[in-house]
Amino acid sequence: MASVVNVILSGGVGSRLWPLSRKSKPKQYIPLFEGRSLFELTVARNQTFTDQTLMVGGIKNVDLAREFLPATKSQTIVEAAPRNTAAAIAFAALACDPDDILIVTPSDHLIENQEAYENIMREGIKYAEEGFLVTFGIQPTRPETGYGYIEYQGNDVLSFREKPNEDTAKEFLKKGNFLWNSGIFCFKASIYLEELFRFEPKVFRTSKEVYESANGGQFSADLSAKIPSKSIDYAVMERSERIKVIPSNFIWSDMGSYDSLYDYLKVKGHQVDGSGNMVIGTQKYVSFLGVENTILVHTEDAILVVHKRSSQDVKHLYEELENHNSPLL
């Protein structure tokens, strides 16, 4: 009998949430959300309507995740090298029975309104049982430039759009038939592999070779390096004719940058001064003069000061530090 499997992807480092998020402990494992981490919340959220949990990630992520995974009916796949989401999901599909339904979820999203979420996921499972690849779109509430968009009509996808500039994002909202791309997917394992083979045969073949040649569950780093680094969006979702989108009404944020974290913490009662400035990570007295909507992030070895509207640019700072092999990562 086919199972419903929650495939949790946990390979990212959360570069836009540096210095809170580090390679040694990415953002999804930091207990910022009323004492719980995004990974912990992701596992719990999907337990009520899935039969198994399968996590795909690097060795450090697997070690950090282990205490939050179910004691039974859970499995981990340890990647030797990160090769993007198309390959990660291929590993999961190869580990499952062909008719198993995979609900693929990032491990670093915040979702509220559990009842609405479960209803939407069950609708996605029905489409997946019919052979469709399902993506879930979020009704946009602002002209967000940090998310991709889905142009849709009913449950049909008209187009996928990359992260827009502000003017384009405003135009999307004005048109009213665009959704934020949540990065959550649902499909049969076999259907995903069929479409991956159809559009990206090299990703399919090299991922299959890595999976089948594993020694004691250990993937070959040399073989893994041969897998083309492609996202599931580019490799399959933007090219297949089997796609359905479900407009979704649960509360969602990818928690990918400080503007999202700021909005969440503010709603939860985190202190903000009269000019909209916020301090994260310290109880020391901090005074902001002549600035507004600014976030100060304090850690033991680094301090970041960023304007809320520049939150996406933290990634560039992270990349600069990475280019200099900084120990601060």
Confidence category of residue 17, pLDDT binned at 50, 70, 90: very high
What is the C-alpha separation between 167 and 152, in angstroms, rounded? 20
pLDDT tens sequence across 262-319: 999 999 999 999 999 999 999 999 999 999 999 999 999 999 999 999 999 999 999 9
- Please name each of the domains of the chain with its CATH number: 4-253 (3.90.550.10), 258-323 (no CATH)
Whether residue 100 contacts residue 79, with contact meaning beta carbons closer than 8 Å, is answered with: no
Q: What is the pLDDT of residue 208?
A: 98
Q: What is the pLDDT of residue 311?
A: 94
CA geometry: angle 146, 151, 157, nearest 5 deg = 125
Q: What is the pLDDT of residue 1?
A: 73
Does this model's pTM top 0.85?
Answer: yes
Q: What is the pLDDT of residue 261?
A: 94
Q: What is the pLDDT of residue 278?
A: 97
Would you say residue 324 has pLDDT above 80? yes
Q: What is the pLDDT of residue 62?
A: 83
What is the C-alpha separation between 42 and 252, in angstroms, rounded? 12
pLDDT tens sequence across 60-85: 888 899 889 998 999 999 999 999 99
Q: What is the pLDDT of residue 216?
A: 82
Confidence category of residue 321, pLDDT binned at 50, 70, 90: very high
Write down the mean pLDDT value for the chain. 94
